[in-house]
Structures are given as C-alpha cells and as structure tokens.
C-alpha cells in the first residue's frame, strides 16, 4: 500500500451525471478483501453506472481508490492493469477457441503479440489453477462455444483469475442459470472472494441471501442501506423500496433476530 487507505475498494462521494440527470449521487462504499459484497437495488438505482465509473467507462467525480491508487481519471486499460476486472451479463469468451486457449490468451493479455504466438510446452501453473477453481479441467480442450451457459460465465471469471485480478466486479453472474449452476457459481464466488475483493451486482434475491457476506442497497443513486443480509432485509427503508411498504412487525422482528 502506498497510502493509509484500508485495503480493498474505497469509493468516496462518487457522482455520475448524464446530461444533468444524476445517476450516482454521492456514494460512499468500502469493500474489504475477503468480503463477498452484493450490490442490489431496483432497476435504475445506479448499480451498473457505479461499476462503469470504477472501471473507467463513464466520467465521474469523487474518489475511487484501490491498491493505494486513485482510479478516477485513468483510462479503462490502465484501470484494468491496476488489477480491476469485470464481467458483463453476457459472457465475452472467444467461442471458437478452446477453454485452455481462452485462459492462455487472458493470461498473456500483457504479453507482446510475438510471444503470444510462440508455442509453449505444458500448461502454465496459473492457467492450471484457474481451470481447477472454475471446475472446467475436464473441458479444457472443448471449444468455448460448446460450453453450457453457466460454464461460459465460469470461464470468464477464470480469465480474470489467470490475470491475477485482485478486484472483481461481476454484473449479474447467475442471470439465466439453472439452480445447480447458481449454487456452483455461489461456491466459486466464495472461493474467489477468500483472498480478493469482490463486488457482485445482483437481482436474484435468493442467490444473494445464500451467498452474500455483506450487502449494499442502492436506490436513486444513493446508498439506502448496508450490512449483513439479515440487517438489510430487516431495514424498513429497504422493504419500502422493494415491497412498497414495511413488513408486518412480527415478520420484521423474526428477520431482525437473524441479524
Ligand atoms: N448513458 C446513459 N445516458 C443517460 N442516462 C443513463 C445512461 N446510463 C444509465 N443512465 C440512467 O442512469 C440511471 C441508472 O442506470 P443504471 O443502469 O446504472 O441502473 P441499474 O441499477 O444498473 O439498473 P438495472 O438493475 O436495471 O440494470 C437510470 O435512470 C438510467 O436510465
């Protein structure tokens, strides 16, 4: 660390405006390494815009610090080189290349083109490790295009792991997945988050309840609530936004006891 910031992702007073409309309105957020933080909120709350600001896709004011460095104001590729990785709702893998080739290319993202083309003996340890983590060792030589939907998402996460990405921002990683794929993805995220900083945008509340270690609720560009799953669920402001009214006292009490 090059300054006295706590490790992890620290967002301060983040603001993003589009033609006078403020989509992110003064957000403060800290995600520590080892945390598996879910970012939830109704449609239009500003979740994707916040992640866009962190990754340099939209202009923002305030501060976003990671690894002792300010990210705001840097171009997208420089932010990626500082260890910030992102997935989108639709996996962006090279469909005609094998799983192994996809990982190999990602691992060499910072290598020069001529070294990328050079024939290499064996599988690099980082690629081998990522294959095991994402559970695709048995599919290493399959074209990525033939993988199931969930497996493509895992491959994309693997492509961030081989690049040794300490901050992962994942946009609805389980959208369109089966129950079994969702559970496997949850376990994968737990493993990944053990020694990394992970922020997951999610609409799937069941998945969030099962796997989040902490939750930030965004509403109208602001942080509405933050805490454990139970704390956030017991918050009347969150119930109001999601249900249109607070929960009956008995139900709210039961949830609060879990907190
Ligand atoms: N490029 C843009 N130009 C103008 N307005 C935008 C732009 N991108 C997003 N917005 C607006 O900013 C607000 C926040 O959008 P954002 O996509 O960040 O919300 P979200 O919480 O990710 O929603 P969802 O869950 O539906 O994906 C919305 O009102 C949206 O219409």
The DSSP-derived string for 195-234 is TSEEEEE---HHHHHHH-SEEEEEETTEEEEEESHHHHHT
The pLDDT of residue 238 is: 92
Q: Which residues of the chain have pLDDT under 70?
A: 1-6, 109-121, 247, 250, 252-259
Domain ranges of the chain: 1-83+173-227, 94-165
Residues with CB under 6 A from ligand 1: 18, 21, 23, 41, 43-49
**Per residue in 88-146, pLDDT tens?**
877 789 999 999 999 999 988 655 555 555 555 677 888 999 999 999 999 999 999 99
CATH topology of domain 1-83+173-227: Rossmann fold (3.40.50)
Nearest Cα residue to atom 28 of ligand 1: 44
Query: Which of 16, 24, 39, 46 has most ligand 1 atoms within 8 Å of its beta carbon, as the pocket-test mutant?
Result: 46
Distance, in Å, from the CA atom of 253 to the CA atom of 251, rounded to the nearest integer, reads 5
ipTM metric: 0.97
Supply the pTM of this predicted model. Answer: 0.90
Nearest Cα residue to atom 27 of ligand 1: 43
Nearest Cα residue to atom 9 of ligand 1: 49
Q: Which two tokens stand for residue 144?
A: 């990525």
Ligand 1 centroid, distance to 56 Cα (angstroms) = 16
């Amino acid at each position: 660390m090059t300054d006295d910031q706590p490790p992890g992702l620290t967002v301060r007073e983040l603001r993003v405006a589009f033609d006078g409309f403020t989509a992110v309105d003064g957000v403060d957020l800290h995600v520590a390494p080892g945390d598996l933080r879910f970012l939830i909120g109704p449609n239009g709350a500003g979740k994707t815009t916040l992640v866009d600001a962190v990754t340099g896709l939209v202009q923002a004011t305030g501060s976003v610090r990671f690894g002792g460095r300010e990210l705001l104001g840097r171009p997208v590729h420089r932010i990626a080189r500082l260890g910030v990785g992102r997935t989108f709702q639709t996996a962006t893998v090279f469909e005609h290349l094998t799983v192994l080739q996809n990982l190999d290319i990602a691992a060499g993202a910072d290598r020069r083109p001529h070294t990328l083309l050079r024939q290499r003996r064996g599988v690099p340890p980082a690629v081998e490790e990522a294959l095991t983590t994402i559970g695709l060792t048995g599919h290493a030589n399959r074209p990525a295009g033939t993988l199931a939907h969930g497996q493509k998402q895992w491959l994309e996460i693997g492509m961030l792991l081989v690049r040794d990405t300490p901050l992962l921002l994942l946009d609805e990683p389980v959208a369109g997945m089966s129950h079994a794929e969702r559970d496997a993805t949850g376990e994968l995220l737990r493993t990944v988050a053990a020694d990394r900083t992970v922020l997951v945008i999610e609409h799937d509340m069941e998945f969030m309840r099962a796997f989040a270690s902490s939750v930030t609720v965004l509403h109208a560009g602001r942080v509405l609530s933050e805490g454990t799953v139970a704390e956030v669920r017991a918050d009347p402001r969150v119930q109001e936004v999601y249900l249109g009214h607070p929960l009956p006292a008995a139900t709210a009490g039961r949830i609060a006891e879990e907190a």
